[in-house]
Structure 1
Amino acid sequence: MGKERVAGDQYHHGNLHAALLDSALIVLTEKGVAGFSMRDAARRAGVSQSAPKHHFGDARGLLGALATRAYRQLCDRLESLDFAGLDARERVGCIAAEYVAFASENRAVFDLMWRMTQFDFTAPELAEQKHRALLILDRGLRGEGAAPASGTDPALLPSYAVWSLVHGYTTLALEGAIDSSNPDPLKGDLLPEMLALLDISGSPRRSTALED
Protein backbone atom coordinates (compact mmCIF):
# COMPACT_ATOMS: atom_id res chain seq x y z
CA MET A 1 0.00 0.00 0.00
CA GLY A 2 1.29 3.48 -0.85
CA LYS A 3 2.11 5.92 1.93
CA GLU A 4 2.50 9.66 2.29
CA ARG A 5 4.98 11.24 4.66
CA VAL A 6 3.45 13.22 7.54
CA ALA A 7 5.69 15.18 9.93
CA GLY A 8 8.59 12.78 9.46
CA ASP A 9 6.55 9.61 10.00
CA GLN A 10 4.88 7.21 7.58
CA TYR A 11 1.08 7.34 7.55
CA HIS A 12 -1.16 5.02 5.63
CA HIS A 13 -3.74 6.83 3.54
CA GLY A 14 -6.36 5.71 6.05
CA ASN A 15 -4.65 7.82 8.73
CA LEU A 16 -4.01 10.86 6.57
CA HIS A 17 -7.59 12.08 7.01
CA ALA A 18 -7.15 12.35 10.78
CA ALA A 19 -3.64 13.78 10.42
CA LEU A 20 -4.93 16.55 8.17
CA LEU A 21 -7.70 17.37 10.64
CA ASP A 22 -5.11 17.63 13.41
CA SER A 23 -2.91 19.94 11.34
CA ALA A 24 -5.95 21.99 10.31
CA LEU A 25 -6.80 22.48 13.98
CA ILE A 26 -3.29 23.81 14.63
CA VAL A 27 -3.63 26.32 11.79
CA LEU A 28 -7.11 27.32 12.96
CA THR A 29 -5.88 27.83 16.52
CA GLU A 30 -2.97 29.98 15.38
CA LYS A 31 -4.63 32.02 12.63
CA GLY A 32 -8.39 31.78 13.18
CA VAL A 33 -11.00 31.17 10.52
CA ALA A 34 -10.05 34.29 8.54
CA GLY A 35 -6.42 33.20 8.22
CA PHE A 36 -7.05 29.52 7.59
CA SER A 37 -5.78 27.86 4.40
CA MET A 38 -5.53 24.31 3.12
CA ARG A 39 -1.96 25.03 2.03
CA ASP A 40 -0.94 25.69 5.64
CA ALA A 41 -2.76 22.57 6.81
CA ALA A 42 -0.96 20.46 4.21
CA ARG A 43 2.40 21.99 5.12
CA ARG A 44 1.79 21.30 8.81
CA ALA A 45 0.95 17.69 7.99
CA GLY A 46 4.06 17.37 5.82
CA VAL A 47 2.19 16.39 2.66
CA SER A 48 1.73 17.90 -0.78
CA GLN A 49 -0.69 20.78 -1.29
CA SER A 50 -2.95 18.52 -3.32
CA ALA A 51 -3.30 15.88 -0.59
CA PRO A 52 -6.10 17.63 1.35
CA LYS A 53 -8.12 18.03 -1.84
CA HIS A 54 -8.34 14.26 -2.24
CA HIS A 55 -9.95 13.97 1.20
CA PHE A 56 -11.94 17.20 1.62
CA GLY A 57 -12.27 18.86 -1.77
CA ASP A 58 -11.60 22.42 -0.65
CA ALA A 59 -11.15 24.56 2.45
CA ARG A 60 -14.89 24.54 3.14
CA GLY A 61 -14.84 20.76 3.11
CA LEU A 62 -11.88 20.62 5.49
CA LEU A 63 -13.42 23.15 7.89
CA GLY A 64 -16.72 21.29 7.73
CA ALA A 65 -15.01 18.03 8.66
CA LEU A 66 -13.24 19.78 11.51
CA ALA A 67 -16.53 21.25 12.77
CA THR A 68 -18.22 17.85 12.50
CA ARG A 69 -15.47 16.25 14.57
CA ALA A 70 -15.83 19.00 17.16
CA TYR A 71 -19.60 18.48 17.43
CA ARG A 72 -19.01 14.75 17.84
CA GLN A 73 -16.43 15.35 20.58
CA LEU A 74 -18.79 17.71 22.38
CA CYS A 75 -21.64 15.20 22.18
CA ASP A 76 -19.41 12.39 23.41
CA ARG A 77 -18.48 14.47 26.44
CA LEU A 78 -22.10 15.35 27.18
CA GLU A 79 -23.22 11.74 26.82
CA SER A 80 -20.52 10.59 29.25
CA LEU A 81 -22.05 12.61 32.09
CA ASP A 82 -23.50 10.60 34.96
CA PHE A 83 -27.04 11.76 35.77
CA ALA A 84 -27.78 9.05 38.33
CA GLY A 85 -29.85 10.46 41.18
CA LEU A 86 -29.99 13.98 39.73
CA ASP A 87 -33.14 16.02 39.17
CA ALA A 88 -33.79 18.03 36.00
CA ARG A 89 -32.14 21.21 37.28
CA GLU A 90 -29.03 19.32 38.36
CA ARG A 91 -28.83 17.47 35.04
CA VAL A 92 -29.06 20.70 33.08
CA GLY A 93 -26.44 22.25 35.34
CA CYS A 94 -24.05 19.38 34.58
CA ILE A 95 -24.63 19.74 30.85
CA ALA A 96 -24.11 23.51 31.01
CA ALA A 97 -20.86 23.14 32.96
CA GLU A 98 -19.52 20.57 30.47
CA TYR A 99 -20.54 22.77 27.53
CA VAL A 100 -18.68 25.72 29.02
CA ALA A 101 -15.64 23.55 29.76
CA PHE A 102 -15.53 22.30 26.17
CA ALA A 103 -15.71 25.86 24.84
CA SER A 104 -13.00 27.05 27.22
CA GLU A 105 -10.65 24.20 26.30
CA ASN A 106 -11.32 24.37 22.54
CA ARG A 107 -11.88 28.04 21.79
CA ALA A 108 -10.77 28.06 18.16
CA VAL A 109 -12.84 25.09 17.04
CA PHE A 110 -15.78 26.17 19.22
CA ASP A 111 -15.82 29.44 17.31
CA LEU A 112 -15.66 27.54 14.02
CA MET A 113 -18.65 25.35 14.94
CA TRP A 114 -21.00 28.32 14.62
CA ARG A 115 -19.46 29.92 11.49
CA MET A 116 -22.15 28.51 9.24
CA THR A 117 -20.98 30.45 6.18
CA GLN A 118 -17.54 28.81 6.31
CA PHE A 119 -18.72 25.28 5.50
CA ASP A 120 -21.76 23.28 4.39
CA PHE A 121 -23.81 23.19 7.59
CA THR A 122 -26.45 21.04 5.88
CA ALA A 123 -24.02 18.14 5.36
CA PRO A 124 -25.75 15.01 6.72
CA GLU A 125 -23.13 14.01 9.30
CA LEU A 126 -22.77 17.56 10.59
CA ALA A 127 -26.53 18.00 10.83
CA GLU A 128 -26.77 14.69 12.66
CA GLN A 129 -24.24 15.72 15.30
CA LYS A 130 -25.88 19.12 15.80
CA HIS A 131 -29.24 17.46 16.37
CA ARG A 132 -27.59 14.92 18.66
CA ALA A 133 -26.40 17.77 20.89
CA LEU A 134 -29.95 19.11 21.16
CA LEU A 135 -31.36 15.68 22.01
CA ILE A 136 -28.77 15.18 24.75
CA LEU A 137 -29.83 18.46 26.34
CA ASP A 138 -33.48 17.51 25.91
CA ARG A 139 -32.94 14.17 27.66
CA GLY A 140 -31.19 15.99 30.46
CA LEU A 141 -34.10 18.37 30.82
CA ARG A 142 -37.00 15.94 30.40
CA GLY A 143 -35.35 12.74 31.61
CA GLU A 144 -34.33 9.50 29.90
CA GLY A 145 -37.91 8.27 29.71
CA ALA A 146 -39.13 11.25 27.69
CA ALA A 147 -40.54 10.49 24.25
CA PRO A 148 -38.12 11.31 21.41
CA ALA A 149 -38.80 14.73 19.90
CA SER A 150 -38.28 15.92 16.34
CA GLY A 151 -36.97 19.35 15.42
CA THR A 152 -40.50 20.79 15.13
CA ASP A 153 -41.88 19.30 18.35
CA PRO A 154 -43.09 22.05 20.74
CA ALA A 155 -41.73 19.94 23.60
CA LEU A 156 -38.23 20.96 22.48
CA LEU A 157 -38.85 24.66 23.13
CA PRO A 158 -37.52 24.57 26.72
CA SER A 159 -34.39 22.78 25.49
CA TYR A 160 -33.84 25.41 22.79
CA ALA A 161 -34.29 28.10 25.46
CA VAL A 162 -31.73 26.52 27.80
CA TRP A 163 -29.26 25.95 24.96
CA SER A 164 -29.67 29.58 23.87
CA LEU A 165 -28.96 30.81 27.38
CA VAL A 166 -25.93 28.56 27.91
CA HIS A 167 -24.47 29.23 24.46
CA GLY A 168 -25.14 32.95 24.69
CA TYR A 169 -23.46 33.19 28.07
CA THR A 170 -20.50 31.13 26.86
CA THR A 171 -20.03 33.25 23.75
CA LEU A 172 -20.27 36.54 25.65
CA ALA A 173 -17.80 35.27 28.26
CA LEU A 174 -15.32 34.17 25.59
CA GLU A 175 -15.54 37.62 24.01
CA GLY A 176 -14.96 39.30 27.39
CA ALA A 177 -18.34 41.00 27.29
CA ILE A 178 -19.61 40.00 30.75
CA ASP A 179 -18.42 39.64 34.33
CA SER A 180 -15.36 41.84 33.81
CA SER A 181 -14.55 41.60 37.53
CA ASN A 182 -13.83 37.89 37.16
CA PRO A 183 -10.48 36.98 35.53
CA ASP A 184 -12.20 33.96 33.97
CA PRO A 185 -15.98 34.46 33.71
CA LEU A 186 -16.39 30.95 32.29
CA LYS A 187 -15.47 29.68 35.73
CA GLY A 188 -17.63 32.18 37.63
CA ASP A 189 -21.01 31.80 39.29
CA LEU A 190 -23.13 33.79 36.84
CA LEU A 191 -24.25 30.87 34.69
CA PRO A 192 -25.57 28.73 37.59
CA GLU A 193 -27.34 31.80 38.93
CA MET A 194 -28.91 32.45 35.53
CA LEU A 195 -30.03 28.82 35.19
CA ALA A 196 -31.58 29.07 38.64
CA LEU A 197 -33.93 31.74 37.27
CA LEU A 198 -35.43 29.28 34.77
CA ASP A 199 -38.39 27.09 35.58
CA ILE A 200 -36.53 23.81 35.05
CA SER A 201 -38.67 20.98 36.33
CA GLY A 202 -38.47 18.36 33.61
CA SER A 203 -42.17 18.97 32.83
CA PRO A 204 -42.20 21.97 30.48
CA ARG A 205 -45.33 23.99 29.89
CA ARG A 206 -47.15 23.20 26.65
CA SER A 207 -46.56 25.70 23.87
CA THR A 208 -47.99 26.02 20.39
CA ALA A 209 -45.19 28.26 19.09
CA LEU A 210 -43.89 25.59 16.71
CA GLU A 211 -47.32 24.40 15.63
CA ASP A 212 -49.26 25.61 12.60
Structure 2
Amino acid sequence: MAAPMVNAIYLVSAVNLRLMSPPVKRRPTGRHHGDLRNALLRAALDLVAERGPHGFTLAEASRRAGVSVAAPYKHFADRETLLAELATQGYREQRDRFAAALGSSDDPVEQLAAFASAYVRFAAQEPALFDITFHAGLDKSRFDELAAAGDEVARLLLPVSRRLAPDEDNAFDLLLRVAAAAHGLAVFLRQGLFGMGGEALADTEERAARTARDIARQNGT
Protein backbone atom coordinates (compact mmCIF):
# COMPACT_ATOMS: atom_id res chain seq x y z
CA MET A 1 0.00 0.00 0.00
CA ALA A 2 2.92 2.33 0.56
CA ALA A 3 3.73 2.82 -3.11
CA PRO A 4 0.19 3.73 -4.22
CA MET A 5 -0.12 6.13 -1.26
CA VAL A 6 3.14 7.88 -2.18
CA ASN A 7 2.08 8.14 -5.82
CA ALA A 8 -1.27 9.64 -4.85
CA ILE A 9 0.38 12.20 -2.57
CA TYR A 10 2.81 13.12 -5.38
CA LEU A 11 -0.01 13.52 -7.90
CA VAL A 12 -2.10 15.72 -5.59
CA SER A 13 0.95 17.86 -4.74
CA ALA A 14 1.82 18.33 -8.41
CA VAL A 15 -1.74 19.40 -9.25
CA ASN A 16 -1.80 21.85 -6.34
CA LEU A 17 1.53 23.34 -7.40
CA ARG A 18 0.22 23.93 -10.92
CA LEU A 19 -2.89 25.59 -9.55
CA MET A 20 -0.92 27.78 -7.17
CA SER A 21 1.68 28.87 -9.74
CA PRO A 22 0.90 32.25 -11.32
CA PRO A 23 0.20 32.16 -15.05
CA VAL A 24 3.13 33.05 -17.27
CA LYS A 25 2.61 36.53 -18.72
CA ARG A 26 3.28 36.65 -22.42
CA ARG A 27 4.03 39.94 -24.14
CA PRO A 28 1.75 40.73 -27.05
CA THR A 29 3.38 39.86 -30.31
CA GLY A 30 1.29 41.91 -32.74
CA ARG A 31 3.77 44.78 -32.92
CA HIS A 32 7.00 42.88 -32.77
CA HIS A 33 7.33 41.79 -36.36
CA GLY A 34 5.61 43.09 -39.46
CA ASP A 35 3.83 45.95 -37.70
CA LEU A 36 6.80 47.20 -35.68
CA ARG A 37 7.78 49.96 -38.12
CA ASN A 38 4.23 51.32 -38.36
CA ALA A 39 3.71 51.08 -34.60
CA LEU A 40 6.82 53.17 -34.01
CA LEU A 41 5.82 55.71 -36.66
CA ARG A 42 2.37 56.10 -35.10
CA ALA A 43 3.85 56.43 -31.63
CA ALA A 44 6.32 59.07 -32.79
CA LEU A 45 3.56 60.99 -34.57
CA ASP A 46 1.49 61.01 -31.38
CA LEU A 47 4.45 62.24 -29.35
CA VAL A 48 5.14 65.02 -31.85
CA ALA A 49 1.50 66.08 -31.60
CA GLU A 50 1.88 66.32 -27.83
CA ARG A 51 5.41 67.72 -27.48
CA GLY A 52 6.69 68.87 -30.85
CA PRO A 53 9.35 67.26 -33.05
CA HIS A 54 12.15 67.81 -30.51
CA GLY A 55 10.27 66.77 -27.39
CA PHE A 56 10.76 63.01 -27.25
CA THR A 57 13.37 60.28 -27.47
CA LEU A 58 13.45 57.05 -29.44
CA ALA A 59 13.14 55.17 -26.15
CA GLU A 60 9.90 57.03 -25.39
CA ALA A 61 8.55 56.15 -28.82
CA SER A 62 9.42 52.52 -28.11
CA ARG A 63 7.56 52.53 -24.81
CA ARG A 64 4.57 54.24 -26.41
CA ALA A 65 4.54 51.55 -29.13
CA GLY A 66 4.77 48.79 -26.50
CA VAL A 67 8.13 47.41 -27.58
CA SER A 68 11.59 47.20 -26.03
CA VAL A 69 13.92 50.18 -26.33
CA ALA A 70 16.19 48.07 -28.52
CA ALA A 71 13.43 47.17 -31.00
CA PRO A 72 13.47 50.38 -33.10
CA TYR A 73 17.05 49.80 -34.22
CA LYS A 74 15.83 46.97 -36.44
CA HIS A 75 14.29 49.68 -38.65
CA PHE A 76 15.69 53.07 -37.67
CA ALA A 77 19.32 53.98 -37.03
CA ASP A 78 18.33 56.84 -34.76
CA ARG A 79 15.53 59.26 -33.89
CA GLU A 80 16.27 61.46 -36.92
CA THR A 81 15.87 58.49 -39.26
CA LEU A 82 12.42 57.81 -37.84
CA LEU A 83 11.47 61.49 -38.17
CA ALA A 84 12.82 61.56 -41.72
CA GLU A 85 10.42 58.79 -42.72
CA LEU A 86 7.53 60.76 -41.24
CA ALA A 87 8.71 63.93 -43.00
CA THR A 88 8.79 61.97 -46.26
CA GLN A 89 5.18 60.97 -45.63
CA GLY A 90 4.43 64.64 -44.97
CA TYR A 91 5.84 65.76 -48.30
CA ARG A 92 3.95 63.03 -50.15
CA GLU A 93 0.70 64.00 -48.46
CA GLN A 94 1.33 67.62 -49.44
CA ARG A 95 2.06 66.67 -53.02
CA ASP A 96 -1.24 64.80 -53.30
CA ARG A 97 -3.16 67.69 -51.77
CA PHE A 98 -1.43 70.32 -53.89
CA ALA A 99 -1.94 68.32 -57.07
CA ALA A 100 -5.67 68.19 -56.36
CA ALA A 101 -5.68 71.94 -55.67
CA LEU A 102 -3.90 72.77 -58.93
CA GLY A 103 -6.46 70.75 -60.82
CA SER A 104 -9.22 73.14 -59.79
CA SER A 105 -8.24 75.74 -62.43
CA ASP A 106 -6.17 76.33 -65.56
CA ASP A 107 -5.35 79.90 -64.54
CA PRO A 108 -1.86 80.00 -62.92
CA VAL A 109 -2.89 82.81 -60.57
CA GLU A 110 -5.84 80.77 -59.32
CA GLN A 111 -3.68 77.67 -59.13
CA LEU A 112 -1.23 79.44 -56.80
CA ALA A 113 -4.18 80.68 -54.76
CA ALA A 114 -5.50 77.12 -54.47
CA PHE A 115 -2.03 75.90 -53.50
CA ALA A 116 -1.79 78.50 -50.72
CA SER A 117 -5.20 77.51 -49.41
CA ALA A 118 -4.29 73.81 -49.47
CA TYR A 119 -1.04 74.60 -47.64
CA VAL A 120 -2.99 76.17 -44.76
CA ARG A 121 -5.43 73.26 -44.70
CA PHE A 122 -2.61 70.72 -44.49
CA ALA A 123 -1.06 72.55 -41.53
CA ALA A 124 -4.40 72.60 -39.71
CA GLN A 125 -5.46 69.04 -40.46
CA GLU A 126 -2.06 67.34 -40.13
CA PRO A 127 -0.28 69.43 -37.48
CA ALA A 128 2.21 66.74 -36.42
CA LEU A 129 3.27 65.97 -40.00
CA PHE A 130 3.50 69.71 -40.69
CA ASP A 131 5.78 70.23 -37.68
CA ILE A 132 8.01 67.30 -38.58
CA THR A 133 8.28 68.34 -42.22
CA PHE A 134 9.16 71.97 -41.52
CA HIS A 135 10.35 72.28 -37.93
CA ALA A 136 12.33 69.14 -37.14
CA GLY A 137 15.57 70.55 -38.58
CA LEU A 138 16.37 67.39 -40.52
CA ASP A 139 19.45 67.32 -42.73
CA LYS A 140 18.09 66.25 -46.10
CA SER A 141 21.57 65.33 -47.32
CA ARG A 142 21.39 62.33 -44.95
CA PHE A 143 18.10 61.07 -46.33
CA ASP A 144 17.81 60.59 -50.07
CA GLU A 145 14.14 59.61 -49.98
CA LEU A 146 13.23 62.70 -47.98
CA ALA A 147 15.09 64.97 -50.38
CA ALA A 148 13.40 63.30 -53.34
CA ALA A 149 9.94 63.76 -51.79
CA GLY A 150 10.62 67.46 -51.28
CA ASP A 151 11.82 67.78 -54.86
CA GLU A 152 8.59 66.19 -56.10
CA VAL A 153 6.60 68.99 -54.48
CA ALA A 154 8.80 71.63 -56.13
CA ARG A 155 8.52 69.92 -59.53
CA LEU A 156 4.75 69.97 -59.21
CA LEU A 157 4.53 73.68 -58.39
CA LEU A 158 7.33 75.33 -60.35
CA PRO A 159 5.69 74.88 -63.77
CA VAL A 160 2.78 76.99 -62.48
CA SER A 161 4.95 79.88 -61.33
CA ARG A 162 6.98 79.69 -64.56
CA ARG A 163 3.88 80.72 -66.47
CA LEU A 164 3.93 84.01 -64.56
CA ALA A 165 7.67 84.69 -64.46
CA PRO A 166 10.21 85.69 -67.12
CA ASP A 167 12.85 83.12 -66.09
CA GLU A 168 13.68 80.25 -63.74
CA ASP A 169 15.03 82.43 -60.94
CA ASN A 170 11.95 84.63 -60.90
CA ALA A 171 9.69 81.61 -61.03
CA PHE A 172 11.39 80.13 -57.98
CA ASP A 173 11.23 83.47 -56.17
CA LEU A 174 7.50 83.80 -56.90
CA LEU A 175 6.76 80.32 -55.61
CA LEU A 176 8.88 80.98 -52.52
CA ARG A 177 6.99 84.17 -51.70
CA VAL A 178 3.60 82.50 -52.08
CA ALA A 179 4.70 79.51 -49.95
CA ALA A 180 6.23 81.79 -47.30
CA ALA A 181 3.01 83.79 -47.01
CA ALA A 182 0.93 80.62 -46.73
CA HIS A 183 3.34 79.19 -44.15
CA GLY A 184 3.16 82.30 -41.99
CA LEU A 185 -0.64 82.34 -42.08
CA ALA A 186 -0.71 78.62 -41.26
CA VAL A 187 1.51 79.16 -38.23
CA PHE A 188 -0.63 82.10 -37.06
CA LEU A 189 -3.72 79.92 -37.38
CA ARG A 190 -2.06 77.15 -35.37
CA GLN A 191 -1.25 79.70 -32.68
CA GLY A 192 -4.89 80.73 -32.43
CA LEU A 193 -4.39 84.26 -33.72
CA PHE A 194 -7.34 83.92 -36.11
CA GLY A 195 -9.61 82.09 -33.68
CA MET A 196 -10.38 78.40 -33.43
CA GLY A 197 -12.46 75.86 -35.28
CA GLY A 198 -13.69 75.36 -38.80
CA GLU A 199 -14.68 78.98 -39.40
CA ALA A 200 -11.18 80.20 -38.53
CA LEU A 201 -9.68 77.62 -40.89
CA ALA A 202 -11.98 78.63 -43.75
CA ASP A 203 -11.20 82.32 -43.19
CA THR A 204 -7.45 81.65 -43.13
CA GLU A 205 -7.62 79.55 -46.29
CA GLU A 206 -9.35 82.43 -48.06
CA ARG A 207 -6.83 84.91 -46.66
CA ALA A 208 -3.99 82.74 -47.97
CA ALA A 209 -5.66 82.53 -51.40
CA ARG A 210 -6.11 86.33 -51.56
CA THR A 211 -2.50 86.90 -50.56
CA ALA A 212 -1.26 84.45 -53.20
CA ARG A 213 -3.33 86.22 -55.87
CA ASP A 214 -1.89 89.59 -54.87
CA ILE A 215 1.69 88.28 -55.00
CA ALA A 216 1.13 86.55 -58.33
CA ARG A 217 -0.51 89.56 -59.95
CA GLN A 218 2.18 91.93 -58.70
CA ASN A 219 4.78 89.60 -60.17
CA GLY A 220 3.14 89.92 -63.57
CA THR A 221 3.14 93.71 -63.61
TM range (shorter): 0.7 to 0.9
In the alignment, the residues of structure 1 paired with residue 197 and residue 47 of structure 2 have an alpha-carbon distance, to the nearest angstrom, of 30
Q: Secondary structure in 1 aligned to 2:216?
A: coil
Output one character per residue of 1:29-88: Cα deviation in whole Å (capped at 9) or x when no partner: 122234212122112222111111221111122222221221122112222346265311
Q: Is the 8 Å Cα contact of residues 78 and 98 (structure 1) preserved in structure 2?
A: yes
1:16 maps to a residue whose letter is L
1:128 maps to a residue whose letter is A
The answer to whether the aligner puts 1:195 opposite 2:212 as a matched pair is yes
Size of the alignment, in residue pairs? 190
Q: Secondary structure in 2 aligned to 1:103?
A: helix
Shift in CA distance, 183/102, structure 1 to aligned 2, threshold 3 Å: closer
Describe how 1:106-121 pairs up with structure 2 within 5 A. Answer: 106-117=126-137, 119-121=138-140
The residue aligned with 2:9 is none
Aligned residues: CA RMSD: 3.1
In the alignment, the residues of structure 2 paired with residue 181 and residue 73 of structure 1 have an alpha-carbon distance, to the nearest angstrom, of 24
In the alignment, the residues of structure 1 paired with residue 84 and residue 196 of structure 2 have an alpha-carbon distance, to the nearest angstrom, of 36
Q: 133-142 or 35-44, which moves further after superposition?
A: 133-142
The answer to whether the aligner puts 1:168 opposite 2:187 as a matched pair is no
Q: Is the 8 Å Cα contact of residues 110 and 213 (structure 2) preserved in structure 1?
A: no
Match of 2:172 among 142, 156, 178: 156
Larger gyration radius, structure 1 or structure 2: 2
Identity within the alignment, %:
31
Gaps of 5+ in 1: 1-6, 206-212
1:195 maps to a residue whose letter is A
Q: Is the 8 Å Cα contact of residues 95 and 140 (structure 1) preserved in structure 2?
A: no
Deviation, structure 1 residue 21: 0.8
Shift in CA distance, 194/153, structure 1 to aligned 2, threshold 3 Å: closer
Output one character per residue of 1:81-117: Cα deviation in whole Å (capped at 9) or x when no partner: 4626531122112212221111101112212222253
The answer to whether the aligner puts 1:17 opposite 2:37 as a matched pair is yes
Match of 2:72 among 42, 45, 52: 52
Q: Secondary structure in 1 aligned to 2:30?
A: strand
Shift in CA distance, 184/59, structure 1 to aligned 2, threshold 3 Å: farther
Q: Is the 8 Å Cα contact of residues 93 and 192 (structure 1) preserved in structure 2?
A: yes
Q: Is the 8 Å Cα contact of residues 162 and 171 (structure 2) preserved in structure 1?
A: no
The residue aligned with 1:79 is 99
Q: Secondary structure in 2 aligned to 1:114?
A: helix
Q: Is the 8 Å Cα contact of residues 32 and 67 (structure 2) preserved in structure 1?
A: no
The residue aligned with 1:43 is 63
The answer to whether the aligner puts 1:126 opposite 2:142 as a matched pair is no
1:102 maps to a residue whose letter is F
In the alignment, the residues of structure 2 paired with residue 69 and residue 85 of structure 1 have an alpha-carbon distance, to the nearest angstrom, of 26
Shift in CA distance, 181/46, structure 1 to aligned 2, threshold 3 Å: closer
Q: 125-134 or 186-195, which moves further after superposition?
A: 186-195
Match of 1:105 among 119, 122, 125: 125
In the alignment, the residues of structure 1 paired with residue 48 and residue 136 of structure 2 have an alpha-carbon distance, to the nearest angstrom, of 16
Gaps of 5+ in 2: 1-26
Shift in CA distance, 135/200, structure 1 to aligned 2, threshold 3 Å: farther
In the alignment, the residues of structure 1 paired with residue 94 and residue 198 of structure 2 have an alpha-carbon distance, to the nearest angstrom, of 25
